[in-house]
Structure formats: structure tokens, C-alpha cells
Structure 1
């Protein structure tokens, strides 16, 4: 690892811990990493500030945030394993672009995408982000999330992306309420001119949705309402499979 960069130093420190460590002194970390004491002290303090490390009387140890990130990576890996077959089925039905997105604050992060032979020029990419308020996936997530998230989304601003973006908070509230009652969200050229979309949330019990699945196509040929039932069934299939696997792990 190149320790001449800040990232290199951070990774070197984190890699210095083992599963058996319950408290590591600064001197021991220095021995394991080879970093100068002053540099090491700055790095560990920064890592403590962001909860990647904790410190007590016995020394330093990996922090709670590391556990959270590990759990999240594990959950997203399981989500992808389960969702991709359902996404492939949707693609076979529609021959349009299929997305899987997860919530991240007031945005959607796209974690998987299956494109058609003639994919629409969707402004999405795996790892990319889009605002919740103007995307079908985002609205599907928002409609089944806590009321506080709706407030956060509105407070962040409903900026106009296209002439069809819903920017009035009251109208947007009514729109989200309709999605909550039907279980499916539509987007008609709200994030990009010429694109339409249908999405449904992946719901596990009474929790906030873990993800949503969508199909996107050009307004000239794709009729999202025609595929609403299939998208909703795919999202329900992902949810039931995740729940079944979770139940088996607890046995």
C-alpha cells in the first residue's frame, strides 16, 4: 500500500487491525503500520471522528461504523443475488432498461442495470445517483418510507429538471399519496425529456423499503402502465425471497 497518500495511510491503519483485537495501543499500531507517530495520531483521530475507529482505556479498535458498512455491503450483495433473476425476467418481458435502486438520503443510488438492445438514453449508471422526487424509483421508495424523509426531500428543494417535473410541494404530496395507495410509481419525463418509467418498492414487513425496481423506456414506444403489474410482481418476488432467506438464516 502506498502510504504517501492520505487514503493509503487510512487503509494501512484499518488493515492493521485483526479480528482478535480488543484494544491496540498507538505504539503497537505504529509497529504494525510503519507510520510516524505524529502522522498516525492524526489519522486515528480522524477515523475516530467518523466512527471508523473507537478508543477506550485498552487502546484503539475498529468502530461501529465499520460494522455498519460491512452489514450494508452484505445486505446489498444478497439483494443483488436475489434481484437479478427477477430483473432479467422483466427485461425478457419488456426489452427495455431495468434498474435496481436503493435509498441514500434523499437520493436513489443505482446498484444494478440491465439494458436492452435498443436502450433508452437514461441518465443513470451503476453507482450513479438521482434525486428521489423526479424518478419513479425514488418516488416508489419515498411513498413507503417514514414521513420524515418526505420532509427532507421537500426541504432539499424540488428543482425543475424538465417542464414536467413536479415542483409544488402540495401537488407532490398528493402524487406520493397516490403511489402509496396503488403500490406503483410512474415517471413521465420528469427527470429527462423523452423518458418514461414505472417502479415498485421492495418491502420487507413494516420497514422502510430496501430497494425498488423499475423499467425505463422512451416515451415514443414504451407504455409504463402496461407493465405496472409485472414490475410490482417482480418487486414482491424479491421481497418474499429475501424474507424467506432471512428466516432460514435464523433457524
Structure 2
């Protein structure tokens, strides 16, 4: 991570920069690494790290490395799109896993990313990059496509206007294709994403509705691209999404579901 040109000026910004130095690829950092990543003087970093450690936001291991503390996990669990949603969803996610024995995921939209709140996976399930608390570009995942498709217009346009990183030859290549795919997802009521992050995996995803019937989350099943018909799991995925929506109080979840029509997209290579 390059050193910022100008270190944060306010105390709160400096504290946040210390926490922001940690990430999926850097869960443990030395004091010197924190200083270098934040651009803060070593003495300032030492003081702020000490205050965060005393509060419980950071923990120091036996080798002198710092890592995120449980206090932040406790606070993060209070987020209304986190713990409450996860608790409502878990019985249905567990049933979906028992019915499929594949990767089962629950995600919400944060900016242009899908953030994963839960993942259930068995030993024989196909490899996926997702992890609880992790994020992936929404356009490249089944859950993310569902979330973008039902997001406000300005959120969709922001995602469409960005350059899209291609993970495989099947990744959606540009905003024009993404716009068409999102329209298809809205019309179908589900997303089937084939090999966008890894060629070996296909996901089928459906929306979860909240008390005002807006889409607050999405769930998916991820299966192997070979010998794993993702579409065959669509009825179970939609039933689980409907159950979670009903648990959240969504009025539409009380109505009979509409018929399913099989449609997918094919992104140019």
C-alpha cells in the first residue's frame, strides 16, 4: 500500500486510518507497518495503537503484531444489516444448505460491492473466494447482480459508469452489457452468474425483501460449473429468499410467487 501524500489531520481520521490499514491480505501488522501504511509518524501511530488496544479495538499477539480486536466485532454485530438480518436468515440458509450441500451465501450491497454476511459450505463444495465480512465487486457475483438490479437508479448508474475489472473471460466486460444484464435480472427476478470470478463456479441468486418490500439482501447457491446445474437449485433458492423476506415482514412474501422462466446472459469474451 503506497504511503499517503498527506497524513490524516483530525484525531478521528487518524484513528480510522489505523483501522483501515488492516485488510484481508494484512490481518496482522507491526507498529512500523501501521505507521508506513497510514503515513503517520511512528510516535503518533504508537500512541493511537495503544489507545485502540486499551479500548479493545486492537489486540497484540505474542510476536508483537497487532490485529483487529473483538470489541470491533461486538460493535459490528449491532449493525442492522448485519446481525438482525443474519439471525432472521440463518434457519433458511441452513435448510438451503441441507437441500443442496453447496456453498450458500447471504450478502448486502455496500457501494459497488457485495458484502458477505454469511457463508455455509461443505467439504465437497466448489472453491469460492468469498468469506464472512469479505466483499467482491457486485457486477461479478450472482448476489451482487441481484442487489444492483434492485438498487436505486443512481447506484446502478454509478456502477455502470465504472471500468469493470475482468477476472475471467466470462466477466461482464463493460457498462453497456451490465445495463442489459441488470434489466434481465429485474425481469426474471433472479440472477445466474456463470464463471465471472472463477471459471469453475456458477451461482444462482435471488432477492430478499424487507418490511417496505425493498430489496435488502440477496442469497445464492454456488455450484461447480461441471456437473453442477445451478438452475436446478433456483426453486430452493427462491423459496429460501421468500422465507427470509416473510420473516422480515415483507408484504410481497405473503403473495404467491410468479412463474419462473429460464434466462441467462452471455458476456462476450
Give the structure-1-normalised TM-score. 0.68
Structure 1 stretches (4+) deviating beyond 6 angstroms?
A: 11-15
Matches within 5 A, 1:102-113: 102-113=108-119
Gaps of 5+ in 1: 16-68, 245-251
**Do the aligned partners of residues 8 and 201 (structure 1) sit closer, same or farther apart at CA in structure 2, a change above 3 Å counting?**
farther
- Within the candidate set 135, 138, 143, 1:137 is matched to 143
- Within the candidate set 139, 153, 169, 1:147 is matched to 153
1:181 aligns with 2:179: no
1:243 aligns with 2:249: yes
1:89 aligns with 2:131: no
Instruction: Judge conservation of contact 1:140–1:179 (CA < 8 Å) in 2.
Output: yes
Instruction: Identify the structure with the greater helix proportion.
Output: 1
- SS of equivalent residue, structure 1 residue 130: strand
Instruction: Judge conservation of contact 1:144–1:180 (CA < 8 Å) in 2.
Output: yes
CA shift, 1:103, in A, is: 1.0
Instruction: Judge conservation of contact 1:120–1:218 (CA < 8 Å) in 2.
Output: yes
Instruction: Judge conservation of contact 2:103–2:222 (CA < 8 Å) in 1.
Output: yes
CA shift, 1:75, in A, is: 4.1
1:6 aligns with 2:48: yes
CA shift, 1:204, in A, is: 1.8
Q: How many residues align?
A: 189
Q: Please report the RMSD computed on the Cα atoms of aligned residues, expressed in angstroms.
A: 2.5
**Do the aligned partners of residues 193 and 75 (structure 1) sit closer, same or farther apart at CA in structure 2, a change above 3 Å counting?**
closer
Between Structure 1 and Structure 2, whose CA radius of gyration is higher? 1
**Do the aligned partners of residues 13 and 113 (structure 1) sit closer, same or farther apart at CA in structure 2, a change above 3 Å counting?**
closer
**Do the aligned partners of residues 72 and 167 (structure 1) sit closer, same or farther apart at CA in structure 2, a change above 3 Å counting?**
farther
- Within the candidate set 108, 124, 131, 2:130 is matched to 124
CA shift, 1:93, in A, is: 1.2
